[in-house]
Amino acid sequence: MAGAARRRDGQIAQERMLEEAMAAIAEDGLAALTMSALAERLGTSGGHILYYFGSKDRLLLEALRWSETQLGLERAALMGRRVTAHRKLALFAELYLPRGPRDPRWTLWIELWARTASNEPLRTAQQEIDDGWQRDLEALLAKGVAQGRFAAMDVPGRASELLALLDGLSTRVVLGQRGADRAVALERARSAAAALIPHL
């Protein structure tokens, strides 16, 4: 019983660290996130954080996984909604895109993308996260085809194309590039989806 309580306490501590890391990234940017700065925010030591995560790379990856788990729950709820295929596709894009410049989830994605070439565990973890979005978008498109809402298409190919486009739009938004705010990105995503995915 005591072992289970310790594990639960450890899980709560880790989640608090991840939540605080995401808040710090949103407030001050990723460059300002150091183990010592995060420890100060949490009222603990850098060594305590390292005990749970081992390295800053691991902390960043786990923060991204934690964030994506929250989004995964939202995505699951979206997939279960009784709305038209077109509406569900629009809502999927809204969920995927960053909320604005310096969105902490997308800031992490961009940082970790740059590290994947030399880090196989990181590349594998990111692929697992990407695969979840790909599977759900394929399911959404396939259901739309089956219901006669979308014309027949190469579902995996179209899903990959749309996600690549959303990645590009998201990067522009999170970097704060001129003329690339969330509203513009959403409009461009809708326009691209209409071109990529033939409606009936």
Tokens found for residue 156: 């995996």
Specify whether the CB–CB gap between 195 and 160 falls below 8 A: no
Q: Phi and psi dihedrals of 24, rounded to 5?
A: -65, -40
Q: Distance between CA 169 and CA 66 in Å, rounded?
A: 23
- pTM confidence score: 0.84
Residue pLDDT tens, the chain, 200 long: 555 545 565 677 888 888 888 888 878 777 788 888 888 888 888 888 888 888 888 888 888 888 889 899 999 999 999 999 999 999 999 999 999 888 888 988 888 888 787 888 888 888 898 999 999 999 999 999 999 999 999 999 999 999 999 999 999 999 888 878 999 999 999 999 988 887 75
Q: How many CA atoms lie within 13 A of 32 on its CB side?
A: 12
- CB–CB of 179/172 below 8 Å? no
CATH of domain 1-54: 1.10.10
What are phi and psi for residue 199, nearest 5 degrees? Answer: -90, 155
Nearest to 144 by CA among 92, 73, 76, 67: 92
Query: What pLDDT was estimated at residue 176?
Result: 87
Residue indicated by tokens 């990856």? 61
Q: Which CATH class is domain 56-196?
A: mainly alpha
By CB atoms closer than 10 A (0-12, 13-18, 19+), residue 18 is: buried
pLDDT of residue 10: 64
Q: What is the pLDDT of residue 6?
A: 55
The residue ranges of every structural domain in the chain are 1-54, 56-196
What per-residue confidence (pLDDT) applies to 126? Answer: 86
Classified as helix, coil or strand, 180 is: coil
